[in-house]
Structure 1
Amino acid sequence: MPAAGARKPMRERFREQVREEVKAAALAQLAEGGAQAISINAIAKHLGVSGPALYRYFASRDELLTVLVIDAYGDLHAAMARVLEPGLDAEAQIRLLAAAYRAWARAEPHRYELLFKPPIPGYDAHAQPLAEAARALMGLVMGVLHQRDSPAAYGNDEVLAARSAGTDQFQLAVAVWSRLHGFVSLEIGGGFTAMHLDADALFETEVQVLTGRIS
């Protein structure tokens, strides 16, 4: 391990650069054609290298997809955590979290969809790293509901314990997430547009229902 402040070895920096370029190319494929369109061989051709060469950086398409999913969870978590304001009550914080959740999903619809359904047949969408990333979002909501100091969050083990015990905070956090997810999925899927509904007005109603449950 390099000393504090020291640059990483060139080989390690090059590896990280290639991995980032592969992920960027995969995200472009995702936006264009969904998860099914992601192809390491196509990415290799785009980057001007051979397919086998890229397998030194990602052993399989599943591994690449897993990294993309975890990155998306991390970005969504960061977007939600960023809006929290110390001193606000739980109702106000939930309003901020809900707005941030919706805004991220609308800005990143293909990445959002990647989070909540198996991207390709046979992919293990419940593998431990993915489950832990999902629980980080739940922990954030639970921390707000429990009025912890900012940054409000339950850790992975605490979320697991709360789930096992069926605590009120966990049940309420699930209710918050399920309503938000249902709304956002319909919105980015075009459901409200097809029905000529005012999505902003509907969202405000949903948020009122959510905050009413914690008042």
Structure 2
Amino acid sequence: MAGAAQTPRARYREQTRAEIKSAALQQLAEGGVQAVALTRIAKEMGLSGPALYRYFAGRDDLLSALIRDTYGDVARAMARAAAGAPPGSARAALHVLAGTYRDWAVAEPHRYLLIQGTPVPGYAAPPDTLLRARAALGPFLRVFAGAEPTEAVRPVVAEMDAWAGGDDTVGDWLTEYTGTAAPAAGAGAALAGTVLAWSQLHGTVSLEVSGLYGGMGHRASTLLTAQMDTLADAFRLS
């Protein structure tokens, strides 16, 4: 059954929250997370400071909203990419997912660095951030679910098996994206491939969006393709 229609007051509240977040994203793009200032946002919007605090309890509350939105956008982009990946080839799907992740980060560098950059001093992310981050990486679990790890990555697989066996939330994550749960065979491989893919993506993409590849004579996309092929070989993806 469809939810009840919002009252005018509720619609106004949601609209104002959206405008505040939009202003904060502009500040984020201009000067990074340290540039996000509620007092400046209030002034730009013609609100008093106390009025703005009716919509967000403070800067950390606003940052949490931006982080939730960002992870949601990444997760949706990755889900669309997974749905459109060539069927029958885990290796091709890996390249599609990696390319999508990089494309999103390059297009939204300030938002990427908000979730993957230098931690904000004194800020503690809300507990649901972990679930949102796992949703963004979930499609990689499917890619590696049927992998055959080589000896080079078996130590990682063993540690991931132990992790899955000792954390029920990890088992739930596996079940959601692969249909299996720890300690089922292949759980460690799916997790190991996903974590290794994320670590390589994070390293390459973070360096690119931070401008640290300038003058090095290569394209980040070329480097990422080589990294994903090497990872696919380590897990014998076809």
Please give the alpha-carbon distance, in whole angstroms, between the structure 2 residues aligned to 1:120 and 1:83: 30
Residue 112 of structure 2: aligned partner: 112
Please, what TM-score do these two structures have when normalized by structure 1?
0.86
CA RMSD of aligned residues (A): 2.4
| Alignment-derived partner of residue 150 in structure 1 | none
Give 3-state SS (helix, strand or coil) of 1:167's partner: helix
Instruction: Give unpaired runs (5+ residues) of structure 1.
Output: 148-154
Counterpart of 1:21?
Answer: 19
Q: Residue by residue, what CA displacement relative to the aligned partner does 1:20-75 show, whole Å, maximum 9, x if unpaired? A: 00000000000001001101111010101101101111011101001101111111
Residues in 1 aligned to 2:103 and 2:64: alpha-carbon distance in whole angstroms: 23
Higher relative contact order (CA 8 A, sep 6+): 2
Aligned-pair identity (%):
46
1:122 equivalent to 2:127? Answer: no
> Which position in structure 2 is the counterpart of 1:77?
75
Structure 2: segments with no counterpart, 5+ residues: 147-168, 175-180
Moved more, 187-196 or 171-180: 187-196
Q: How does 1:171-186 map to 2 (within 5 A)?
A: 171-186=192-207
In 2, are the aligned partners of 1:146 and 1:169 still within 8 Å (CA)?
yes
Task: Report if the CA contact (8 A) 1:35-1:119 is conserved.
Answer: no
Return the offset for 1:98. Answer: 0.4
CA distance in 1 between counterparts of 2:103 and 2:16 reads 30
Alpha-carbon contact 1:76-1:104 (below 8 Å) kept: yes
Q: Is the 8 A contact 1:141 1:173 kept in 2?
A: yes
SS of equivalent residue, structure 1 residue 184: helix
Question: Hey, what does 2:89 align to over in structure 1?
Answer: 89
Structure 2 equivalent of residue 142 of structure 1 = 141
- TM-score using structure 2 length: 0.78
Letter in 1 for 2:198: W
Q: Shift of the alpha carbon at 1:15?
A: 0.5
Which consecutive segments of 4 or more residues in structure 1 shift more than 6 A? none
**2:138 is aligned with what amino acid?**
G
Q: Is the 8 A contact 1:106 1:188 kept in 2?
A: yes
Q: Between Structure 1 and Structure 2, how many residues are aligned? A: 204
